[in-house]
A and B are shown apart, each in its own frame.
Chain A
Amino acid sequence: MDIDLIFRIAAIGIVVAVLNRVLNQSGREEMAMMTTLAGVVVVLMMVISLISNLFDSVRTMFHL
């Protein structure tokens, strides 16, 4: 769990926001929607192991 991950997620967020704006501006709205979704999927994949750990600890804490 390092601070690097948070910076990386923030940078991806910025890039996706700019991409969204550029694509909306040129009229390719469906492509903008697709890149937003792709950005969400990428961030999710980066974070998935941490989420799995979180669910494990929640489960052990409440079934104790």
Chain B
Amino acid sequence: MREIVNEGIELLLKIIGGLLVISASGLLGILFSNRLSLRYKELNNLRRFMQMLETEVTYGATPLPVALKNTSNKAEGLISSFFICISNSLTDRSFYTVWDAWTYAAEAVLVGSSLQRADIELIKSFGSILGCSDREDQKKHFELFYLQLKHQEDAAQAEIKRSAKMYRSLGFLLGTAVFIVLI
């Protein structure tokens, strides 16, 4: 009688442990998959809000810190914190140039996010031309930046289509494999 109860408890513990392992591994897979789709969403957001920023700067002729703050109020999440960081460092006069503030904010805010290294380098390279030339030149630089961002967006979209489902299934399958080997 006692052995049967013990065996039942052992089986139950094995099942609970197995469920934990499989769900943990599956959730990891889902996490990786979500990071890909988050990257695409962030790139898309970045492009839209840069367009808003451009409109404010070129047509409203508002100074950069104010324009950044206004745009960041309309934005949400990562891009908002990025813009707010630049705006604050510009108003605090902690940096000499817009480029320095931009690079600092990119390193501080964007590095830990779902954006890849290439995206962050692209964003940093844009900071070097902000506010350095006249209105027409700025517009042309903005256009170039949008084109490059769109290119990265398309790459992110292709990556999602290729790998999202794979990461999810991979998570669950590897969890099952570990469960089988251990039990």
Contacts and interface: CB of A to CB of B under 8 A. Distances in A.
- Asked whether A and B interact, the reply is yes
Interface of A: 8, 11-12, 15-16, 18-19, 22-23, 25-28, 42, 46
A11 B173 CA distance: 11
Interface in B11-40: none
B162 A15 contact: no
Interface string B159-177: 0001101100110011011
Nearest to B178: A15
Nearest to B165: A26
B166 A12 contact: no
Contact of A26 (B162, B176, B180): B162
A15 B163 contact: no
Given A8-B180, A42-B181, A15 B165 contact: no
Given A26-B166, A27-B162, A28-B166, A18 B180 contact: no
A54 to B, nearest CB: 22
Which 4 pairs across A and B sit closest by C-beta, in order of nearness? Answer: A26-B166, A11-B180, A22-B169, A15-B177
Given A15-B180, A18-B173, A22-B170, 8 more contacts: A8-B180, A12-B181, A15-B177, A16-B177, A22-B166, A22-B169, A26-B162, A28-B166
Interface of B: 162-163, 165-166, 169-170, 173-174, 176-177, 180-181
A25 B123 CA distance: 34
| Secondary structure call for the B interface | helix
Contacts of B181: 8, 12, 42, 46
Nearest to B177: A15
B33 to A, nearest CB: 12
A22 B177 contact: no
Contacts of B170: 19, 22-23
